[in-house]
Amino acid sequence: MMSDISKDEALKNASNIVTLLSHQEPGPSFSEEARVKALEAAHGIIHALEKPEDGLIKFAYSPAIWMAIRVCVQLNVFNIIEQNETISAAEIAKTANADETLIRRLLRVLTAAGYVAEKGDGLYGPTHWTMHISSRLAQGMIKFMYAANWLQQTGYQNPADPQHGMFQAANQTDLPTFQWLTVPKNQEIWDNANTFFEGDRGSRPSWLSWFPAKEKLFPEGHQQETWLLVDVAGGRGHDLLEFLAKYPDEPGPFVLQDQAPVLDSALSLPPKVQKQPFDLFKDPPVQGARIYFMKFILHDYNDGECLQILQNVKASMIKGYSYLVINDFVLPDTKCGLLQSQWDLMMMVLLSSMERTETQWRTLLESAGLSIEGMYSPPGDGQGIIVATL
């Protein structure tokens, strides 16, 4: 079993890389021996810096890279980019006869991974990886080992139908993913999903560790008229428990709302938390709360479904008093990180949904009649915070 690498060993590996590469004879490239040793040292640094929670998520989401490569090979995207110093997503989509949003989502992963260069918002150029993947031998391997038929059958449109997506094709169902998961025969899978939701943040910091929640949302002396916080579709209450641990002196009351079977598995909630079953699409949350908190909820649904959910939340909010707090990825329009871009493709596969850019979030929330108080970025590559009001 590999032991943890210490800070000193990480620094030693970094020093070894500098030494190996700086003592090479003049020439266009490094010797093979120096290159391999430097690469081993670089892997040592990664092992020292990467936390196990993040490393496991990285492996779990790594198929998104191959998915992006395979579809782009099938659409001849690498060859199109190779022939242009700079080319737009719109031009690529037109040449490849594919949806522009789909092209942007695929290339968001490939630019984050370094396989394509990002030249601006929706602008791309080749790297040495692009040139290699364009080669006949590389494409032969990719096409032989990885099939990519579903998007081809749908004309390379951006998936948005929750009843007819990749997940439905794989499981031979027309039920939306969450409905399929709650079918009794799939109980074990649904239980595993809810357990994953408890830890899906990995080691990335909780919003409560960097966002001044009390100062902004319920400062000293505020008039507590009703519920302090409602965790909307909050699963087993893991985020609500974090909130209570951060602010143990807040009397509440607090509400956890989700489907009844999920709430039944939430066993460790204190008395000041009420569990209330509800349907995200049919029922408004409890009326008049100070904070309506939604973590990783809206990224599960397309814009039409999100508008329906937001209308339900709006119906419960009090103007000038209530806040909607969304804890979700806010993708940058350029220079998106690899994890967020991979997560976006997994949402495409599992739910025919997406992670949204700041521009897309603004469009969605303003369409729902909500005013954005602010969008706040976390340290590192975690989920951001969006605060909205009526």
38-78 pLDDT, tens digit each: 788 788 788 778 888 888 888 899 999 999 999 999 999 99
Q: For residues 314 and 310, give the distance between their C-alpha atoms in angstroms, rounded to a whole number.
A: 6
Q: For residues 295 and 275, give the distance between their C-alpha atoms in angstroms, rounded to a whole number.
A: 17
pLDDT the model gives residue 45: 80
Per DSSP bridges, beta strands 254-258 and 323-328 are: unpaired
Token look-up 């997406």 returns: 354
Contact by Cβ (8 Å): 328, 384? yes
From residue 191, alpha-carbon distances to 195, 197, 235 in Å are 6, 10, 11
Mean pLDDT throughout 340-363? 96
Residue type, 4: D
Mean pLDDT throughout 3-16? 68
* Confidence tier at 372 by pLDDT (50, 70, 90): very high
Q: Which pLDDT tens digit goes with each residue over 173-218?
A: 999 999 999 999 999 999 999 889 888 888 888 999 999 999 999 9
> C-alpha 207: how far from its chain's center?
15
Q: Which pLDDT tens digit goes with each residue over 73-98?
A: 999 999 999 999 999 999 999 999 99
Q: For residues 203 and 303, give the distance between their C-alpha atoms in angstroms, rounded to a whole number.
A: 29
Q: Which pLDDT tens digit goes with each residue over 316-340?
A: 999 999 999 999 999 999 999 999 9
Residue type, 175: L
The pLDDT of residue 156 is above 90: yes
Mean pLDDT throughout 147-165? 92
pTM: 0.88
Mean pLDDT throughout 122-144? 94
Residue 309: DSSP 8-state: H
pLDDT the model gives residue 49: 81
Beta strands in 121-205 (DSSP E): 123-125
